[in-house]
A and B are shown apart, each in its own frame.
Chain A
């Protein structure tokens, strides 16, 4: 079952909240290097799928594998240490910390020597370097010393991505990275994601069809907790089922 080459695989994952079935028998797999999109109307279970994968929620039934290793019952911090990182739909940052420090904390987590009380945090050269590289990669190097809460909303979304990157994940889950952001900043964020997706496996939840069509190789449509369709951007935009459940409803 888990001996194929998929990086992430969910097998018949079902998640129920009382009488509500948020995910219904979702079997989903992502290969290394892919850029995957997940779309679907509100309440389709997109974020729930992320929550289940990252260990925030335990599925009612079903199994999740990362590189063939089962991670269904691990806690979020262990799953993160195994190379899976995510962003959050609502900005979920450290408001009273600087951009630099916010990213540094993740870099430090990856370095696996997180709690030496003797050294000063800013004196660890390798971590410092790594932090600055990430700042440059996402284009926040000018704002390294700003408090996170003082950033524009778009920059906060970028910081969100940078923080997820700081743990050097092999699989990055992005939960609506452009939601509520101005068109100009959206373009910025998309450029960052495009840059990342060249050497990283990315799963992207999006509301905007344009974004997904631009970035993703394969798109999965969720509806009412089920996989309604899966295919290339072309196939998806022509799929009648998709037009009915998703495009039709939005426009």
Chain B
């Protein structure tokens, strides 16, 4: 027996993602310098968006605390380079380790709570961590932040440096591609199905013999891990990190990206990132209150399809 529709839906998504990634490979060479740096940022945000999608899109946990993991990831990378003098790749391990630890702690406390309480408590975590980061200037540098000097990466006899924007671009692209492949695999594995069934009807999953709390926690941690990776890459790319990495911006943007692109589609959130970033880049230049316009556009998109842009495209193909 073939699973045509389901298969087709997944393949459509997968083709979209692969095409997108290939396009990024080519664009790295073709793009002018300014645009390349913008796209690098978009790719970093895409990792955050996908990570967040595991939490919100797959298991329906609307967290407002993901800035905690983003910031932790950034500072994990910065501290390990500043204080432990490690290389770039180990610093990313530290950044993901920080995300793992924090998402475990935050998850254990908040995942048990039902929807509204979950949103509130994750938002409280954001507030606490943001305040702490702002206050503990001796550690985090507060608003001014901390700058770092990047060590170079040695690949056999060659050494490459992230100071080269082209290297930086492909460095981030590799992480985006690997993150996508891992998360896509997880989404299509048994545990991914369990995640989706939790999104659909949490209580029923319990009556099918699953410990729902455990699976929600796992999804939350996976999500935190990739959010931290994104934060780490962002800090490495900017060679800088500040308390701003814990700000509400990084909690709310993932929600917006995922909603625009299509919840639970993983790669769909990339569309959200692209639209939002371009919008921010171009429109904010000529109108200070561009966010009002943006709000209206989000409402329009969600009015047309509650499943976001990519969700809409897929559902059209299916019917």
Using a CB–CB distance below 8 Å, which chain A residues touch chain B?
54, 75-77, 80-81, 85-86, 88, 92-98, 100-102, 104-106, 108-110, 113-122, 124, 132, 144-145, 163-164, 166-167
Contact = CB atoms under 8 A, between A and B. Distances in A.
A115 B217 CA distance: 13
B4 interface: yes
B11 interface: no
A81 B192 CA distance: 20
A105 B3 contact: no
Contacts of B193: 101, 104-105, 108, 121
A120 B188 contact: yes
B192 A92 contact: no
B275 to A, nearest CB: 24
A119 B185 CA distance: 8
B311 to A, nearest CB: 10
A102 B197 contact: yes
B192 A121 contact: yes
B185 A118 contact: yes
B206 A77 contact: yes
Interface string B179-210: 00000011011111110110011011111111
A97 B191 CA distance: 15
B6 to A, nearest CB: 6
A196 B204 CA distance: 21
B204 A163 contact: yes
A97 B206 contact: no
B184 to A, nearest CB: 10
20 contacts: A77-B208, A77-B209, A85-B207, A85-B208, A93-B200, A96-B200, A97-B196, A105-B194, A110-B209, A114-B191, A115-B189, A115-B218, A117-B190, A118-B185, A119-B189, A120-B185, A121-B190, A132-B1, A145-B3, A163-B204
Nearest to A113: B190
B208 A167 contact: yes
A92 B203 contact: yes
B271 to A, nearest CB: 20
Contact of A77 (B185, B192, B211): B211
A76 B194 CA distance: 17
B5 A145 contact: yes
Given A98-B5, A115-B194, A105 B189 contact: no
Contacts of A98: 3, 5-6
Interface in B146-188: 185-186, 188
Central interface residue in B190, B197, B206, B211, by most chain A CB within 10 Å = B190
Given A94-B201, A116-B190, 18 more contacts: A54-B207, A76-B206, A76-B207, A77-B206, A77-B212, A101-B193, A106-B208, A108-B193, A113-B190, A114-B190, A114-B210, A115-B189, A115-B190, A115-B194, A116-B189, A121-B193, A144-B3, A145-B4
Nearest to A105: B197
Contacts of B209: 77, 80-81, 106, 109-110, 167
A96 B6 CA distance: 11
A112 B100 CA distance: 26
Contacts of A120: 185, 188-189
A224 B207 CA distance: 27
Quick one: which of A108, A124, A144 has the most chain B CB within 10 A? Answer: A108
B283 to A, nearest CB: 34
A163 B1 CA distance: 20
